[in-house]
Amino acid sequence: MRNFISMKEFDREEILEILKRAEELEKDPKQELIHNKIAATLFFEPSTRTRLSFTSACFRIGAKVLGFDSPDATSLKKGESLRDTIKMINGYSDIVIMRHLRDGAAKFAGDVSDIPIINAGDGANEHPSQTLLDLYTIKKEFGTLDGLVTAFVGDLKYGRTVHSLAKALSKFQCKKFYFVAPDELQITKEIIDELEEKGIEYELVDDYKEILKEVDVLYMTRIQRERFEKPELYEKLKDVYIISKDTILGKCKENMIILHPLPRVNEINIDLDDTKHALYFKQAKNGVPIREAMIGIALDKLNINYKEKEKNEIIFSKEQVCENHNCITKFEQTDNKIEIINGKKFCYYCGREIKK
């Protein structure tokens, strides 16, 4: 059994093997791969693509699906904890695919569960299945994940797809990362520190226009309205970047691709949809074989040469607590675990550095 919680868990070779399994399934769909297993899709947050493509993936490999697409009709409304929900679902299904609004919820669920957990997005933290399909799309287009310049544009603070993709791409020989965002929505310190440690070239900028000529992958994102503490700030920033034929055509590399995890709001004008640069709908379609592969691997029906990673030191502390107000530790009873990495302290659940 294997969980998919964070892109931190997979190295370069393992990622390439997952993509290979997806490619094999796309060529030769294996109807009986997960015969008669039951997958639970627990979506505590809205979703269109992720839930439906996971469901489609389950059907295509022979699994049955149960679950919910909104917490409103569940016992969460009566005050049930995530711990209890997961414990109970363990008796009803063979694998859990979960989206939750709290950062670190997937890690927490993984610790509580005896069946595999696939993180379908935990708050602003991570979204590994989106990343794997992003990588699958990039690799299909360029034939490689090495040597590319990637520009992440939009809400890099709250965009979990950006966090997972930056972590994953940093395991390859990236040429450069550009993080294009207004100051208020720039990329997290944790990611910057990781890039610094790995010696990967990156630059923080607030406009995409000057860098466009260098970019291979333009990764657009929506401003994540639901995660803002101050609605006025969302109103100020919501349309900060809008790309269109006017701003892109003739100004970028011939083979630059535009990706977007979707949903888009205003950031990509529909006039770009029929250009060769627009890959976002293909990208969404690629979610199906990727998710088939993830479920197959999680349930040990498909193999990758996974190497157990060295475990970081864990300490338990009631005094030093995570300062992230959206961390799962603020909403569930946990054992106050802190992970020590290179002498620094991090919340075991949401990965935020603990300074105090």
- Binding residues for ligand NCD, rule: CB under 6 A, are 49-50, 121, 127, 130, 160-161, 222, 224, 261-262
**CB-nearer residue toward ligand NCD: 99 or 171:** 99
C-alpha–C-alpha distance, residues 3 and 118, integer Å: 6
Catalytic residue among 49, 175, 176, 245, which?
Answer: 49
DSSP letter (8 states) at residue 312: P
Bond from prior residue into 231 cis (ω within 30 degrees of 0): no
| Residue of this chain nearest to ligand NCD (CB atom) | 261
Give yes or no: 83 in active site: no
Catalytic residue among 21, 37, 41, 50, which?
Answer: 50
Angle subtended by helix axes 105-112 and 82-89, to nearest 10: 50
Catalytic residue among 100, 127, 163, 222, which?
Answer: 127
Catalytic residue among 21, 99, 171, 345, which?
Answer: 99
**CB-nearer residue toward ligand NCD: 125 or 334:** 125
How buried is 263 (Cβ within 10 angstroms: 0-12 exposed, 13-18 middle, 19+ buried)? exposed
Give yes or no: 221 in active site: no
Give yes or no: 78 in active site: yes
**Least distance in angstroms from the C-beta of 76 to ligand NCD:** 19
H helical segments located in the chain? 12-27, 49-60, 82-89, 105-112, 128-142, 160-169, 189-198, 231-237, 245-248, 280-285, 287-298
**Least distance in angstroms from the C-beta of 189 to ligand NCD:** 20
**Least distance in angstroms from the C-beta of 46 to ligand NCD:** 8
**Least distance in angstroms from the C-beta of 168 to ligand NCD:** 15
Give yes or no: 334 in active site: no
Task: Tell how strand 257-259 and strand 38-43 pair up.
Answer: unpaired
**CB-nearer residue toward ligand NCD: 85 or 131:** 131
DSSP letter (8 states) at residue 28: S
**CB-nearer residue toward ligand NCD: 261 or 296:** 261
**Least distance in angstroms from the C-beta of 262 to ligand NCD:** 5
**CB-nearer residue toward ligand NCD: 110 or 287:** 287
Of 109, 115, 104, 131, which Cα lies nearest the Cα of 291?
Answer: 131
Rounded to 10 degrees, what is the CA torsion of 271, 267, 165, 195? Answer: 120
Give yes or no: 50 in active site: yes
Active centre residues (catalytic)? 49-50, 78, 99, 127
